[in-house]
Amino acid sequence: MTDNTLHRAREFEARYGPLIPADQRPAYHLTPTIGWMNDPNGFSCYQGEYHLFYQYHPYSTEWGPMHWGHAKTRDFLHWERLPAALAPDTAYDQNGCFSGSAVELPDGRQLLVYTAVRKHLGEDGRTTETQTQALAVGDGVNYEKWHGNPVLTAADLPEGGSPVDFRDPKVWREADGSYRLVVGNRSSDGSGAVLLYRSEDGFAWSLVGTVDASRSQYGQMWECPDFFPLDGKQVLFVSPQEMSPIGLEFHAGNGTVCLIGSYDTSANRFVREAVQAIDYGIDFYAPQTLLAPDGRRIMIGWMQNWNTLSCKPRDARWFGQMSIPRELSIREGRLYQQPVRELEQYRCNRVCYQNVLLTSETNLHRVEGRMVDMTVEIRPAERELYHSFRVNVAKDGEYVTTIRYRPDTSILKIDRTRSGSNADVVHTRSLLVRPQDGQLKLRILLDRYSVEVFVNDGEQAVSVAIFTRQSANAISFDAIGSVLMDVEKYDIDLDRKGAAEDGTSH
């Protein structure tokens, strides 16, 4: 820890980041300038642009002393890299600047709120960690840590709240100009809770109370909360550690949970009405949202999971990527998500097929590629229900990632067992889809290192990272039984705005 810590990180990333060839990164998903990335931080609108910070360790592709990396965008797809914003360089954050968030102050400055981590050697020789909340103020590029840090400490916890697990503040500004933040905490029963704090100016904070708590039902420590109104409901996002599986809804390990309910502001009373997973894939964690000036609530997540870190290409100079930013809505009590509409501007080479009769493995002319936005709609071709349907992507003689649907069970399964990593980790995930007599609609986004599936207009999302070589670019369809299928497929090319219509139909 020295005053030079940030300067050193900025020099390092400026020198070595540009050496990573563009074609060795995703085409339209954000990766770290160099080294390691985890959670999205400070996803917010500042002076007309969208800023995104991230948990960052530039020096290796492993998690290490946490810095904040930084990028900004106008369309959620073209990211401009900015110098690292925060480094662990003070007494109170010498062991890491953990996750947090950002808000624009009325005077035009940007306020960052983050978790400061400090380790202490106890009298018994054991190291303990304390987590406090700290501030930094800046102009969109350079930030100064506030002289009054830390602003929330053990003294600001409710009774029984853990000063060791007290992290990931998400801040916002209310219509009356006052500020709120939610932060994750471990409560006296050992499981997670979300605490709410209030401030008049963004600098002096006081506890309002507990918004909701796991009571060991949805995992243990609740990381990275977010709390926002959406379509007449109130939504609480948490990323729990140590989840136990619940049917096909929640899997073991680090998961993402969306609690939908109502919220009485004056009594700080959140009443749950529905609980669901945010993403049903393998690689998604710690999502954060922003409210765009046009009213859209947009979410981005870390498209990776702590449980599958050994799925890492050997010679990688970067590791960890962000999901496509997703527009959120609530329909019939469920969270829906769709890729940001800005993506549509960069679709080109449209290929369209209708009423393809599928009874065995089929390739369609010009339906291939690794930077793709493809919508597939299927229905039974006969009165008798088909047995199963499959889409194979990122495929060659050796590799394939498969999405399979069985209408009798209504289970959709994604399988990346043969997607370029031999690590012995989870490679499949199954989810229960709302049954619709064998009808199903999938929008599949492919980028060089990922597959994101949006089921039935975004009713469910499924994200996985893949490491398949880029020459594996075939796409095929398969059915046991007979299926009628429509396919609309575009390439994504960020250099070709507005080229969507130059295509062919069959």
Output the six-digit token pair for 37. Answer: 């990335």
Interface pick for ligand FRU out of 6, 34, 37, 66 (rule CB under 6 A): 66
Measured over the CA atoms of residue 260, residue 225, residue 340 and residue 457, the dihedral's sign is: negative
Question: 132, 115 in Cβ contact below 8 A?
Answer: yes
CB of 486 to ligand FRU, least distance (A): 39
CB of 148 to ligand FRU, least distance (A): 21
- CA separation, residue 226 to residues 170, 195, 211, 499 (Å): 6, 11, 11, 36
Rounded Cα distance between 41 and 30, Å, is: 13
CB of 220 to ligand FRU, least distance (A): 12
Question: 106, 124 in Cβ contact below 8 A?
Answer: no
Name the one residue in this structure whose structure tokens are 């889409």.
Answer: 391
> With binding defined as CB under 6 A, does residue 55 bind ligand FRU?
yes
Question: Could you say which DSSP state residue 6 is in?
Answer: H
CB of 67 to ligand FRU, least distance (A): 10
Amino acid at the residue 317: R
Query: Active site residue: 23, 39, 408, 415, which one?
Result: 39
- Catalytic, 447? Answer no
Rounded Cα distance between 414 and 133, Å, is: 39
Q: Are strands 67-73 and 79-86 parallel, antiparallel or unpaired?
A: antiparallel
Question: 14, 5 in Cβ contact below 8 A?
Answer: no
Rounded Cα distance between 104 and 237, Å, is: 22
39 or 93: CB nearest ligand FRU: 39
Amino acid at the residue 67: H
Question: Could you say which DSSP state residue 430 is in?
Answer: E
Total residues at interface with ligand FRU (CB under 6 A): 13
Rounded Cα distance between 144 and 165, Å, is: 25
100 or 380: CB nearest ligand FRU: 100
Output the six-digit token pair for 4. Answer: 């030079």
257 or 400: CB nearest ligand FRU: 257
Q: What does the buried/exposed string (b/e) look like for 418-455 if buried means 16 or more CB atoms within 10 Å of the residue's CB?
A: bbbbeeeebbebbbebeeeebebbbbbbbbbbbbbbbb
CB of 230 to ligand FRU, least distance (A): 23
278 or 446: CB nearest ligand FRU: 278
CB of 196 to ligand FRU, least distance (A): 18
167 or 418: CB nearest ligand FRU: 167
> With binding defined as CB under 6 A, does residue 167 bind ligand FRU?
yes
Interface pick for ligand FRU out of 39, 279, 283, 327 (rule CB under 6 A): 39
Interface pick for ligand FRU out of 168, 373, 488, 491 (rule CB under 6 A): 168
Q: Which of residues 219-278 bind ligand FRU (CB under 6 A)?
A: 223-224
166 or 454: CB nearest ligand FRU: 166
Interface pick for ligand FRU out of 5, 31, 33, 38 (rule CB under 6 A): 38
CB of 87 to ligand FRU, least distance (A): 14
Would you mind telling me the total number of residues written for the chain in this entry? 506
Interface pick for ligand FRU out of 286, 298, 371, 487 (rule CB under 6 A): 286
Sheet with 110-121, side-by-side order of all strands: 97-104, 110-121, 127-138, 143-145
Question: 328, 43 in Cβ contact below 8 A?
Answer: no
Task: Give the x/- contact pattern for ligand FRU in 304-343, rule: CB under 6 A.
Answer: ----------------------------------------
105 or 309: CB nearest ligand FRU: 309
Interface pick for ligand FRU out of 28, 50, 76, 98 (rule CB under 6 A): 98
Q: Are strands 35-46 and 318-319 parallel, antiparallel or unpaired?
A: parallel
- Grouping H, G, I as helix, E, B as strand and the rest as coil, residue 189 is coil
Q: Which of residues 109-148 bind ligand FRU (CB under 6 A)?
A: 115
> With binding defined as CB under 6 A, does residue 348 bind ligand FRU?
no
Closest-CA residue to 341 (of 292, 376, 277):
292
132 or 468: CB nearest ligand FRU: 132
> With binding defined as CB under 6 A, does residue 99 bind ligand FRU?
yes
Q: Where are the beta strands (DSSP E) in 75-126?
A: 79-86, 97-104, 110-121
> With binding defined as CB under 6 A, does residue 13 bind ligand FRU?
no
φ, ψ for residue 504, nearest 5 deg:
-130, 150
CB of 104 to ligand FRU, least distance (A): 22
| Contacting residues toward ligand FRU, per CB under 6 A | 38-39, 55, 66, 98-99, 115, 167-168, 223-224, 285-286
Catalytic positions, please?
A: 39
